[in-house]
A and B are shown apart, each in its own frame.
Chain A
Amino acid sequence: MTVNATTFDQIIRLFWLGGAVAFVLGLVRMNSPATARNGNLLSAGGMVMAIVATAVWLLVLPPTGSFNAFGWLIILAGIAVGGGYGLYSARTVKMTAVPQLVSLFNAVGGGAAALIAISEYVSHASAGTVPGLQDNVATVLDVVIGSVTFTGSLIASGKLMGLRITPSKPVRLPGGQVITGVLTVVVLVGGLYIFLGNVSMAVLLAVVAAALIFGVTMTLPIGGADMPVVISLLNSFTGTAVAMAGFVLNNPLLIIAGALVGASGAILTKLMADAMNRSVLNIMLGGFGGGEDTSAAVGGPGGSVREVSMDDAAIQLAYASEVIIIPGYGLAVAQAQHGVRELAEILEAKGVDVKYAIHPVAGRMPGHMNVLLAEANVPYTQLWEMEDVNPEFSRCDVALVVGANDVTNPAARKPGSPVSGMPILDVDHAKNIIVMKRSMGRGYAGIDNELYANPKTGMLFADAKAGLAELVAAVKAV
């Protein structure tokens, strides 16, 4: 029986290894748009295989030695409730609302990881056994990281949804530093107490409570525009928490998958922060205030600003031979992606060559703009990445900026500005520039955009969605 049990264990572990391989190969396949979907399905297949193998293992060789009927009832009920809601929300969500849903999924993943360590600890406490040092370290790390991720991701999700209790703008907490200090002390002292081999539910719960509150106080002061970086960082945290749960349960699959996600989230976070020319630390500390586009309309940026009428803009576009459209955060917020595609199609029908210039951080997340435009049926071959499209601007007749701001600011090329050094789209190299914008409000960096004062630039003041509809009508009439 023991020999058989060991062999059986080894077979199950091979299935787990198969799952881990599927995760890695799935991520590799996400390299290119052509194989990405296939890669995700491969990853999902590995997940199903790993879960089925686990179910078989738990049925044949239950860790407690006997079949736990109520435990299985709980598993089935949990999968029905969680899986059912997951299926429903993922299939019905609007593409513009995807970031907040991903953040919600991330929150519950972190929550599940924390619950595993708490539950194991409860078992130890009620059985009166003392876990080893490595179990204690993993338990504390899992509980702290998982709890911070849980509340932090929920707040981030709420901010993106624009809920009233989690306003998008940064919220300064009175005595914020004192609160953070107290929470840190609770976590450190409590953690040390548990490391030393003391089993106390009260101490563990105090650590959990402190970590949950910390997740809230960490995320509330960060502005809505920074949320993608925060979500990415929390995604990495969840991976790490899951790896720690793997240490607690001695499970290699959880360790591998958790570490994979921890590494991927870290890379992605750094890429996003780099593209905004900011450090992750800077963002997490609340950065430079960061208002949204609606901040007070200030006068002109330095020089005078030229306004252009809807009809003039339509004529410029219709008679151009090459037009580059620069979509930005404002377009995503106004959900104007269908309008921009309609405009592009009409221009193409008139023989105009249309390209979309996509800045790495356009939209609400890196790559989010591509997803939104793809949803509006824009072929991805028309989407040009920054390095490829920048040489094209000097050849194009009209650059149409819709809802993008800081990523087009030529001030980034000179030192001494908050955006200095940030990679930008060379929109100012175009022969003519049309900027569709609601007001002269500043972008996320809170500075004036020198592009607007450029003599080649015409400002078209309109909401992205309504403005594009008008522009489409005007181009049709040309």
Chain B
Amino acid sequence: MNGGQLTIDLAFTIFVLAILTGFAVISKVPATLHTPLMSGANSIHGIVLVGAMIIATSANDPVTYALSFLAVAFASLNVVGGYVVTDRMLQMFKRKPAAPKAEKAEG
């Protein structure tokens, strides 16, 4: 691919730092939001669509075209379905926001 290649040591550094970020961010979420969170995290790995697009544009025979099509369709299902269903779940938490006594779940 073009431009500066991502060297293996740099790629691994990014990988480890992203894992640590994931731990730090997730551990703060209250149990109330665990199902939406699971669904939200599920949509984020739909980013695999970017990879599916990359292989589709460099495909050059029936086998790689077929594999690319499946990969793009699968990844799109993951992205679109994931975000929409997460939004539907979270939408329901917006009702009656006037809190007489807010739950103190953070911490």
Which residues of A come within 8 Å of B, CB atoms?
5-6, 8-10, 19-20, 23-24, 26-28, 30-34, 36-37, 39-41, 43-44, 47, 50-51, 54-55, 58, 61-64, 68, 70-72, 74-75, 77-79, 81-83, 85-87, 89-91, 93, 95, 98-99, 101-102, 104-106, 108-109, 111-113, 115-116, 118-120, 122-123, 126, 134, 231-232, 235, 238-239, 242-243, 245-247, 249-268, 271-272, 358, 360, 365-368, 370-371, 374-375, 377, 379-381, 383-385, 388
Name 13 A/B residue pairs within 8 A (Cβ), A-sorted.
A5-B3, A6-B3, A30-B37, A102-B42, A105-B77, A119-B55, A235-B42, A246-B15, A249-B54, A250-B5, A265-B41, A371-B36, A371-B92
Q: Are B57 and A63 in contact (CB under 8 A)?
A: yes
C-alpha gap A207/B60 in the complex (Å):
24
> Contacts A259-B15, A381-B103 hold; do A33 and B32 have CB atoms under 8 A apart?
yes
C-alpha gap A99/B44 in the complex (Å):
17
Tally of B interface residues using CB under 8 Å: 96
> Contacts A74-B68, A122-B67 hold; do A40 and B58 have CB atoms under 8 A apart?
no
Q: Are B34 and A367 in contact (CB under 8 A)?
A: yes
Q: Are A255 and B56 in contact (CB under 8 A)?
A: no
Q: Are B87 and A93 in contact (CB under 8 A)?
A: no
Q: What is the minimal beta-carbon distance from A315 to any residue of chain B, in angstroms?
A: 28
Count, A-B residue pairs, CB within 8 A: 428
Q: Which of A79, A115, A235 has the most CB of B within 10 A?
A: A115
C-alpha gap A116/B28 in the complex (Å):
33
Closest chain A residue to B107, Cβ basis: A387
Q: Are A24 and B25 in contact (CB under 8 A)?
A: yes
C-alpha gap A99/B16 in the complex (Å):
29
Which of A63, A93, A126, A253 has a CB less than 8 Å from the CB of B61? Answer: A126
Which of B27, B51, B56 has a CB less than 8 Å from the CB of A267? Answer: B27
C-alpha gap A40/B35 in the complex (Å):
13
Q: What residues of chain B lie closer than 8 Å to A72, measured between beta carbons?
A: 56-57
Known interface pairs A81-B76, A271-B34; 5 further A-B residue pairs with C-beta atoms within 8 A, sorted by A's residue number: A71-B58, A77-B69, A98-B39, A122-B67, A249-B51
C-alpha gap A235/B42 in the complex (Å):
6
Q: Are A74 and B56 in contact (CB under 8 A)?
A: yes
Q: What is the minimal beta-carbon distance from A42 to any residue of chain B, in angstroms?
A: 10
> Contacts A30-B36, A101-B85 hold; do A86 and B45 have CB atoms under 8 A apart?
no
